[in-house]
């Protein structure tokens, strides 16, 4: 399942994955293999299954993961066959080519490399040692497990997860092979089994001899069958059938995997926020919202209903207030937002129809343009971003931050020092924008988390800064990539 980085970022914000980590990286990496540009390709080519952590030495999240990752590596080294865990400094300049090849845009990023690196999958398991071990033992084993009895089925098919079973009279032939290809392709996201007897399965027609694919799920109709065996059709079936008509977002961890899937979808996102326990009209909202979700199923719009108790991260991200609840937000993949505050149940269907018909105008969120903007780090808001960044004719380093972000608070005094070092340089601007209170043009900036730093040169080069967050490193980056205003003026003359 391909995840949009934008929606991954929003999911992390919803779950309030913020703040700084203080754990130190393990000094003794006896079991985690250290890779770099000189040995990466050869090591990967020798192994059928390995896991690589792409990290940056300065990353707090990486430091927190390090001891858990090392502990898991020590346990998995005794597995039969051994499972190798490796780490790769993606921030090292000599390693950047490989990091770019694997599209590393945040730290830590863990990837599973199969068959000498010919198959690359995202690691989507836990980040504690025991969880890593359990997840990787499963991932390194068979993609699909044979179900030989009702006891096998009951141990594998739970009431709170997706499970996909292929029913085949015999385990051979093109349809069976295509099912196994499906299992291999989607094994990072779903559990698979195969059986020769539908009587072993807990739900559905027990007399079905197959071949068929039965997907079990803990919502909506609880199971659904499919009998087309083209691999792409099977993938589409599993992805669509495993998505709830309405995804619930509250503090119940059983719903969290489906929230992840919701934000992994390429559809536009409709989100209804209300108080699940105090809202007198909850049943009416639930019913009307489900009716609308059914109406638009398969029409590039996914639906989520969130409890305000669990949605404070979303409120911070969107800059909305509890007095606007019940509230519908629709956000498209280009970053446009459409809001309907204090909505009533009977208004949901007509408002969503107006959105689909292009009648609803996008909501532009911007703080007021500052009347005074004379601090070393200049304040940018949505309404002056074009003027201060794109049309200024200057070299601009722009920080996207969140007021509640611990990493941003740590970076703030460093950026002040950087700005002071350029205070007599009219060609350079150091600026910041509160990304939770202002619309960000997604076509220009890929803001996955906070803080995110972008640099736009005077001639229009746009670069994301992912180096060390020290004063000197940032200054060196600006000096290396800046243009003179005369170059910018010359460029304009060439255009004319």
DSSP 8-state secondary structure symbol assigned to residue 206 = T
What interhelical angle do 129-140 and 60-76 show, nearest 10? 60
Place of tokens 């018909």: 357
Distant-in-sequence, close-in-space partners of 357: CB < 8 Å, separation ≥ 6: none
How far is the C-alpha of 2 from the C-alpha of 6, rounded, in Å?
Answer: 12
Phi/psi of residue 417, nearest 5 degrees: -65, -40
Place of tokens 């430091």: 63
Q: Are 346 and 312 in contact (CB under 8 A)?
A: no
Q: Closest Cα partner for 45 from 3, 4, 97, 86?
A: 86
Distant-in-sequence, close-in-space partners of 365: CB < 8 Å, separation ≥ 6: 318, 319, 337, 382, 437, 438, 439
Q: Is 120 in a helix, a strand, or coil?
A: strand
Which residues belong to the active site?
Answer: 59, 62, 405, 408
Query: Is the bond leading into 388 cis (omega within 30 degrees of zero)?
Result: no
Q: Are 271 and 355 in contact (CB under 8 A)?
A: no
How far is the C-alpha of 186 from the C-alpha of 120, rounded, in Å?
Answer: 12
How far is the C-alpha of 223 from the C-alpha of 225, rounded, in Å?
Answer: 7
Distances (CA, A) of 175 to 17, 46, 164, 171, 245: 42, 31, 15, 9, 29
How far is the C-alpha of 183 from the C-alpha of 235, rounded, in Å?
Answer: 9
How far is the C-alpha of 380 from the C-alpha of 438, rounded, in Å?
Answer: 9
Q: Are 200 and 136 in contact (CB under 8 A)?
A: no
Q: Are 336 and 362 in contact (CB under 8 A)?
A: yes
Q: Are 213 and 163 in contact (CB under 8 A)?
A: no
Q: Are 85 and 39 in contact (CB under 8 A)?
A: no
Distant-in-sequence, close-in-space partners of 444: CB < 8 Å, separation ≥ 6: 462
């Amino acid at each position: 399942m391909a995840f949009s980085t934008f929606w991954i970022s929003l999911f992390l914000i919803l779950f309030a994955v913020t703040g700084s980590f203080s754990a130190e990286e393990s000094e003794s990496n006896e079991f985690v293999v250290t890779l770099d540009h000189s040995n990466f390709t050869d090591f990967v080519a020798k192994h059928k299954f390995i896991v690589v952590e792409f990290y940056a030495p300065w990353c707090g999240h990486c430091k927190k993961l390090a001891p858990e990752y090392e502990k898991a590596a020590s346990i998995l080294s005794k597995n039969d066959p051994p499972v190798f865990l490796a780490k790769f400094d993606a921030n090292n300049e000599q390693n950047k080519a490989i990091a770019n090849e694997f599209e590393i845009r945040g730290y830590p990023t863990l990837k599973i490399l199969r068959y000498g690196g010919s198959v690359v999958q995202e690691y989507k398991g836990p980040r504690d040692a025991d969880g890593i071990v359990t997840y990787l033992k499963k991932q390194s084993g068979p993609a699909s497990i044979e179900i030989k009895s009702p006891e096998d089925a009951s141990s594998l098919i739970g009431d709170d997860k997706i499970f996909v079973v292929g029913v085949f009279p015999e385990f051979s032939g093109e349809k069976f092979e295509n099912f196994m290809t499906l299992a291999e392709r989607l094994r990072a996201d779903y559990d698979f089994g195969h059986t020769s007897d539908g009587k072993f399965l807990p739900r559905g027609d027990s007399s079905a001899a197959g071949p068929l694919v039965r997907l079990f799920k803990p919502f909506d109709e609880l199971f659904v069958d499919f009998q087309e065996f083209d691999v792409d059709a099977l993938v589409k079936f599993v992805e669509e059938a495993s998505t709830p008509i309405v995804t619930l977002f509250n503090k119940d961890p059983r719903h969290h995997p489906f929230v992840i899937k919701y934000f992994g979808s390429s559809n536009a996102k409709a989100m209804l926020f209300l108080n699940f326990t105090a809202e007198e009209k909850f049943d009416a909202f639930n019913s009307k919202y489900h009716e609308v979700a059914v109406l638009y199923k398969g029409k590039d719009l996914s639906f989520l209903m969130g409890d305000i108790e669990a949605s404070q991260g979303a409120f911070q991200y969107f800059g909305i207030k509890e007095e606007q609840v019940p509230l519908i937000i629709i956000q498209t993949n280009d970053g446009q937002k459409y809001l309907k505050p204090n909505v009533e149940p009977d208004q949901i269907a007509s408002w969503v129809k107006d959105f689909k018909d292009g009648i609803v105008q996008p909501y532009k969120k911007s703080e007021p343009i500052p009347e005074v903007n004379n601090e070393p780090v200049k304040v940018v808001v949505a309404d002056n971003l074009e003027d201060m960044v794109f049309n200024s004719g200057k070299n601009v380093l722009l920080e996207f931050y969140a007021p509640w972000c611990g990493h941003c608070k740590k970076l703030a005094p460093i950026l002040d020092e950087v700005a002071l070092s350029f205070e007599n340089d009219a060609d350079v601007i150091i600026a910041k924008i509160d990304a939770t209170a202002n619309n960000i043009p997604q076509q220009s900036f890929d803001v996955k988390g906070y803080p995110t730093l972008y640099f736009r040169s005077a001639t229009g080069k746009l670069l994301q800064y992912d180096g060390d967050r020290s004063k000197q490193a940032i200054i060196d980056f600006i000096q290396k990539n800046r243009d003179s205003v005369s170059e910018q003026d010359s460029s304009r003359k060439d255009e004319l």
